[in-house]
Structure 1
Amino acid sequence: MPKQSNYTSQIHDHIAWALAVEGKTDIQIAEVMGITERTLNNWKKTHESFFQSLKKGKSVADADVVKSLYNRAVGKVVVKNKKVTIEMDSEGNQRPARIETTEQQVPPDVTAAIFWLKNRNPAQWRDRQDVKVDNNEWVSALQSKVNGYKKGEDLSE
């Protein structure tokens, strides 16, 4: 007889969501939970709330990656705050005198842009383009020329 499942929705659904948000794979999630991947897959099939928790967590992680890839593809301005310490108090501790804010332009990344476009609209941006030739007369004439060359015929017309 198979071992009884120790699934508890109040615990396992939250753990699954949290690990999925971190970008963990199903195998990694199973390892953290102390179960096999097979058990995890069974829980997904038999416990809808568990399946939905995993699905929602993975969606959050995927959205973060999409946002990062998009920002990398188009470039962005990064604002950084830096505490400048130039004063000491009476006890010898450093006190932040002011905060400097700097902006740095991160240029677009061509590779990220290409990746984004190929996956967003593959019909238009993939490397290989399918070309359909509709002029059968032209194709037939070209084929006969090629066949003539193969036979050694003089085709200097």
Structure 2
Amino acid sequence: MLIVKSMVRKGWTNDEIADYIGITQSTFYEWQKKHPEFSEVLKEPKEYCVAKVENAVFARATGIEKTIHEKETVTVEKDGKKTVTTTEKDGVCYYPPDTRAAIFYLTNRAGKDWKQKQQTEIKGSLSVDAKIDAVARLKEMREKHHDE
């Protein structure tokens, strides 16, 4: 089921999934009818998964504030008698922005202003002497290397 779920998230078609797991298309559609868990896995569209991850990246890039509810139970025994005390409190947990998530988001969404490649332009002229005698150069290098 995990493999099929992964395939759906990657955008595989029903035919591709059936072929990969080694069943015919008719068996594939029969499984959908007979096995609700199989059918459910196929319903989660790729676009939903991509949107969920995009939202998570955005949240990490901008920081997350999450309300938490804590509950603590303490049992105290005194003179053979147990006393149970439960304390509850609400709080806010803050996760600061993640720099890597922000850079990833900006390079993909505002690439013109946030591209990571640098381009250097060199102006001028370059000439190449095409009359290089390669054999003579090799002999010269060999003699020089042999003398050393």
TM-score normalised over the length of structure 1: 0.47
